[in-house]
Structure 1
């Protein structure tokens, strides 16, 4: 199967942004997904807000499909894997089996986030707070002032634009350029089936990616990647 993804350069590496909202790193044969928020519906149910309880299954099915499409042998999750640290204890039998099968099939690494700082890897995988691979820092939340290449999640960015009288609101990646081809920072879109979003141009996102020379929203559109300028350094 040909991956539904779009290649683009970032920090001297080639990455592929998939239509499923994941990032594939060919050289590392690694798939990165942010903000799965597994068991979000069950979390709300425990607080008497009842939502259809199928979000975890849908999210895991999309992860499995993206692994098959890309052929990834490693998966890095960039935090907020479960909607709370106890999420792995509320998995249904079917969902628990799905997750265990995924973590056996690939080298699976969980990075913790603000929603699940004390999560347990009950279904396999390794847990870390953050990681550096080939000079690329992987963490949940972008660290303002970071000068190394960085991949993160947390903000659930969405691009909101009007094209040909149509208003488009889609999950996107946000890419900060430093002016140096070997350095940049990227916030991934939320991967989870039951996740909201923040305007990619929100001041909180732009501040988190400083210092930068330029910041763009990047989103698959048709047969190409579309870029929308969000911020430019005054000069």
Structure 2
């Protein structure tokens, strides 16, 4: 598996090419900011039509990651749906697929700022999760340590072949790990943004997603 293995607060973790995080010793897979149903929410609120396949694509990648890791615990780190109505309007086929992914696993929905946690879709709804010395929550708390969070959708901007491209990235310093967005239609915040510069320590690293995850100093 082309994953980047690293140590964070005494725990061995894998940054996966998709943007998922795997904790082998806990058999735990963490994904953040799925934003399922974004195309439905955009159409409902603005009338703009997007190809309505992002939920299926996101679930397909999640199923693949679960197959690769055989994770027994899944933590969805907030903003799993683009809003409450998007969760309610989830297509029956996608709802059944999600139920199949949940079967036999402990499935935890962490509360996000876009959704309070889809309590009608099975699994456990928590504000945050503490396990094995780590705390999983949606938005980073600058005063906390050993924290895994999401929310910011971090991206790294790279120059390649004379043009600029963006890659989703994990950000890590000695206190916190910020997850990339997992959802197909999610945007992102470049690491040069003031919010990320203020949040992350001076020695922060970025682990770029993609076929071969790569670790570099966090661009500022």
Q: TM-score, normalised by structure 2?
A: 0.93
Any stretches of 5+ residues in structure 2 without a counterpart? none
Quick one: structure 1 residues 64 and 222, their matched pair in 2 at CA, closer, same or farther if it must change by over 3 Å? closer
Is 2:128 the partner of 1:130? yes
For the residue of structure 1 that corresponds to 2:125, the secondary structure is strand
CA RMSD, 1 decimal: 1.7
**Which structure exhibits the higher relative contact order, with contacts defined as CA atoms closer than 8 Å and separated by 6 or more residues?**
2
Shift of 1:45: 1.3
C-alpha contact 1:6 1:220 (8 A) present in aligned 2: no
Match of 1:186 in 2: 177
Q: Deviations over 1:8-38 (max 9, x none)?
A: 1111111101111100001111000000001
Quick one: structure 1 residues 39 and 164, their matched pair in 2 at CA, closer, same or farther if it must change by over 3 Å? closer
Cα distance in structure 2, aligned partners of 1:137 and 1:188: 13
* Counterpart mapping for 1:29-44 below 5 A: 29-44=27-42
Match of 1:100 in 2: 99
Quick one: structure 1 residues 224 and 128, their matched pair in 2 at CA, closer, same or farther if it must change by over 3 Å? closer
Shift of 1:220: 4.3
Cα distance in structure 1, aligned partners of 2:146 and 2:43: 39
Cα distance in structure 1, aligned partners of 2:104 and 2:40: 26
1:172 to 169, 172, 175: 169
Quick one: structure 1 residues 60 and 10, their matched pair in 2 at CA, closer, same or farther if it must change by over 3 Å? same
Match of 2:137 in 1: 139
Runs of 4+ deviating beyond 4 Å: 163-166, 220-224
2:187 to 183, 190, 196: 196
Quick one: structure 1 residues 225 and 86, their matched pair in 2 at CA, closer, same or farther if it must change by over 3 Å? same
Quick one: structure 1 residues 85 and 135, their matched pair in 2 at CA, closer, same or farther if it must change by over 3 Å? same
Q: TM-score, normalised by structure 1?
A: 0.87
* Counterpart mapping for 1:4-43 below 5 A: 4-43=2-41
Any stretches of 5+ residues in structure 1 without a counterpart? 178-183
